[in-house]
Amino acid sequence: MPRSAASRPIRLSETVDSLSDSTDGRAASDDARQFWREAFRSVRAETERRAALLSAEDQVVQSMPDTSPTKWHRAHVTWFFEEFLLRRFAPAYKAFDESFGYLFNSYYVSAGPRQGRPQRGLITRPGAAEVTDYRAHVDRAVMALIDSTNDFAAIMPIIEIGLHHEQQHQELLLTDILHAFSLNVTHPAYDPRWQWPKGEMAGAAAVSVSGIHRIGHDGNGFCFDNEQPAHEVLLQPVQLSRALVTNGEWLDFMADGGYGTPSLWLSDGWATVEAQGWSAPGYWQHTDGAWFSMTLGGLRPVDPSLPVCHVSYYEADAFARWAGKHLPSEAEWEVAARAETLDDAFGAVWQWTRSSYSPYPGYRPEPGALGEYNGKFMINQMVLRGSSLATPAGHSRKSYRNFFYPSARWQFSGLRLAEFEH
């Protein structure tokens, strides 16, 4: 976690249930209102703290269709509260600017037409300062609603998902500006003082899992709908590495011709290697006989002892094949994580699994616009587990399912290996 981007550890998911119990369904206790006021303030402030290191010029750039400008992230998470909370539960609310719905809706088709995703960087107006005003306008309205509503039970789940949504964008804010900075030959640092987080990295020991286990979210505290229903899985005996794959191991893979050996790669992966000219992880460059990597602290020497980062699913899969192993399934990962047996499960790099992003048995998206949050993306993507150095404190869970396309590598993504017991 960059020091300048360290979150206040507000553990939304652990606190919510006890407070929910204290509401009688419509009214809310003073404690509950106070908790949500503080949670709202804290999460909103974290976004601004991460953005504060970036100039207005930094905040407008979009370096590829998959990334979004900082300013857009700041406005979009605000629009989320405006669209799904204030418009529905605060009848007297006046929109800050009616055109913002078009500019800052992401992918919610049922919420109306929207700016094309690849064109978000063209939104030079409103400027960053006006987005700050927009955020303040919505903040005031949400605080007033928390104080005044007679139907707290109805608004609480919307505030809750809105805050978790904003935390997701806090991570994207960093991954996206890092991609933009990686394309600047002067290698700007997001935070010159940034350091890789201290990890556990215990070594090469492995942990065995097998048999019937329950995975998914059990219903205590917040989760996204894709983590449910909880259900039983049958695992064949398998050993998961306690440690993440390191840069040093990745250098061995490279030295052994990993990026030039088609038999190690899935067909789509090899096509991507050829099309993109990949010969090293994302953001790596070879200069004067040494490898360097673009980080949140600028260009830094590659440290062989640290976890490898910015690799795609295709690369992770090829590495595993080269190592004579495979990636864990998400169920294998979750069972091992629940047993507290994985080092660096959280806080370093998201870990690719070999599981495609599919609905759990019996999954049904919520009705209405918020049903678009996760369910419609359950195709052609792979699941990552854990969390990364950019994930806000209090946001991760053992049942959390992140997902990206198999060629994506601008996230803080790495891997650990698994091996079936014979």
Residues lying near Fe ion in the complex (CB under 5 A) are found at: 106
Pick the closer one to Fe ion by CB: 106 or 182: 106
Instruction: Label each residue of 264-305 as H, E or C.
Output: HCCHHHHHHHHHHCCCCCCCEEEECCEEEEEECCEEEECCCC
Instruction: Please state whether 283 falls in left (phi above 0), alpha (psi between -120 and 50) or beta.
Output: left
Neighbours of 298 (CB within 10 A): 16
Pick the closer one to Fe ion by CB: 28 or 163: 163
Q: Shortest distance, CB of residue 414 to Fe ion, whole angstroms?
A: 24
Neighbours of 229 (CB within 10 A): 15
- Residue-level length of the chain: 422
Neighbours of 246 (CB within 10 A): 18
Q: Shortest distance, CB of residue 220 to Fe ion, whole angstroms?
A: 25
Q: Shortest distance, CB of residue 369 to Fe ion, whole angstroms?
A: 12
Do 361 and 331 contact (CB within 8 A), yes or no?
no
Pick the closer one to Fe ion by CB: 164 or 397: 164
Residue 353 DSSP class: E
Nearest Cα residue to 166 out of 392, 413, 390: 392
Q: Measure the CA–CA gap between 129 and 149, rounded to whole angstroms.
A: 30
Residue 411 DSSP class: S
Residue with the CB atom nearest Fe ion in the bound state: 106
Q: Shortest distance, CB of residue 216 to Fe ion, whole angstroms?
A: 23
Sign of CA dihedral 26, 31, 34, 39: negative
Pick the closer one to Fe ion by CB: 106 or 239: 106
| Residue keyed to tokens 């409103």 | 126
Do 307 and 393 contact (CB within 8 A), yes or no?
no
* Rg (alpha carbons) of the chain, rounded to whole number: 22
Q: Measure the CA–CA gap between 207 and 205, rounded to whole angstroms.
A: 7
Here the tokens at position 263 are 């038999």
Q: Shortest distance, CB of residue 408 to Fe ion, whole angstroms?
A: 17
Q: Shortest distance, CB of residue 277 to Fe ion, whole angstroms?
A: 32
Do 87 and 79 contact (CB within 8 A), yes or no?
no
Pick the closer one to Fe ion by CB: 76 or 310: 76
Pick the closer one to Fe ion by CB: 76 or 242: 76
Q: Measure the CA–CA gap between 49 and 57, rounded to whole angstroms.
A: 17
Pick the closer one to Fe ion by CB: 161 or 240: 161
Pick the closer one to Fe ion by CB: 106 or 226: 106
Backbone angles phi, psi at 419, to 5 degrees: -150, 125
Q: Measure the CA–CA gap between 280 and 286, rounded to whole angstroms.
A: 9
Q: Measure the CA–CA gap between 301 and 196, rounded to whole angstroms.
A: 12
Torsion of CA 103, 107, 112, 113, to 10 degrees: 60
Q: Shortest distance, CB of residue 201 to Fe ion, whole angstroms?
A: 33
Q: Shortest distance, CB of residue 193 to Fe ion, whole angstroms?
A: 29
Q: Shortest distance, CB of residue 182 to Fe ion, whole angstroms?
A: 23
Pick the closer one to Fe ion by CB: 73 or 416: 73
Q: Shortest distance, CB of residue 162 to Fe ion, whole angstroms?
A: 10
Pick the closer one to Fe ion by CB: 106 or 246: 106
Pick the closer one to Fe ion by CB: 106 or 351: 106
Q: Shortest distance, CB of residue 73 to Fe ion, whole angstroms?
A: 8
